[in-house]
């Protein structure tokens, strides 16, 4: 559910009125942090709010950025660039790296994150795209 056309207020079961707005939220990862503006429904006091639809997307984006900075994740654009530089289509890349034929679509659109072994293989292919020939021989 998207956040378009949401009501300005909602009432909780206990009768508290929550108003649509944004509040700063700090995201932490491996000693790093980032503050994002998190949309949601919030009470007039400092207690927690309610988030629906795409409200949590800024948190997801911030966590992804922090993971990229820490080197624990490759950005979708970089995954695509590595695959293309190695001369692989999405289906072949999925088959050769053992993750499934449609998985690279998900990686390259930020719908899924590669696991540790897949990240290692992608980093190797980034440094040595010629290794794809060896992967093809292994798969044959």
Structure tokens at 136: 């093809």
pLDDT in tens, 31-73: 999 999 999 999 999 889 999 999 999 999 999 899 989 989 9
- Residues ≥6 apart with Cβ < 8 Å to 19: 8, 9, 41, 42, 43, 44
Range of the domain at 114: 76-139
- Residue 97 and residue 84: Cα distance in Å, rounded? 14
Q: Has residue 121 been placed in a domain?
A: yes
Nearest of 94, 69, 99, 70 to residue 83 by alpha carbon: 94
Residue 93 sits in the same domain as residue 40? no
State residue 81's pLDDT score.
97
Residue 95 sits in the same domain as residue 41? no
State residue 4's pLDDT score.
64
Q: Has residue 62 been placed in a domain?
A: no
Nearest of 34, 36, 12, 33 to residue 22 by alpha carbon: 36
Q: Has residue 114 been placed in a domain?
A: yes
CATH number at residue 98: 1.10.260.40
Residue 3 has pLDDT above 80, yes or no: no
pLDDT in tens, 118-129: 999 999 999 999
Residue 95 sits in the same domain as residue 124? yes
- Residue 42 and residue 108: Cα distance in Å, rounded? 34
Alpha-carbon Rg for the chain in angstroms: 21
Q: Has residue 61 been placed in a domain?
A: no
Mean per-residue pLDDT of the chain: 92
Average pLDDT of the residues in 95-106: 92
For the chain, the domain total comes to 2
DSSP reduced 3-state for 4: coil
**CB of 9 closer than 8 Å to CB of 19:** yes
């Amino acid at each position: 559910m998207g956040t378009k056309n949401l009501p300005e207020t909602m009432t909780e079961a206990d009768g508290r009125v929550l108003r649509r707005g944004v509040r700063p939220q700090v995201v932490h990862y491996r000693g790093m942090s980032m503050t994002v503006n998190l949309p949601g429904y919030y009470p007039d006091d400092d207690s927690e709010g309610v988030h629906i639809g795409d409200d949590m997307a800024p948190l997801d984006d911030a966590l992804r950025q922090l993971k990229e900075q820490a080197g624990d994740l490759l950005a979708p654009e970089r995954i695509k660039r590595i695959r293309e530089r190695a001369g692989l289509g999405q289906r072949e890349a999925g088959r050769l790296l053992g993750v499934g034929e449609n998985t690279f679509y998900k990686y390259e659109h930020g719908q899924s994150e590669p696991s540790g072994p897949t990240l290692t293989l992608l980093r190797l292919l980034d440094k040595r795209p010629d290794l794809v020939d060896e992967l093809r021989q292994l798969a044959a």
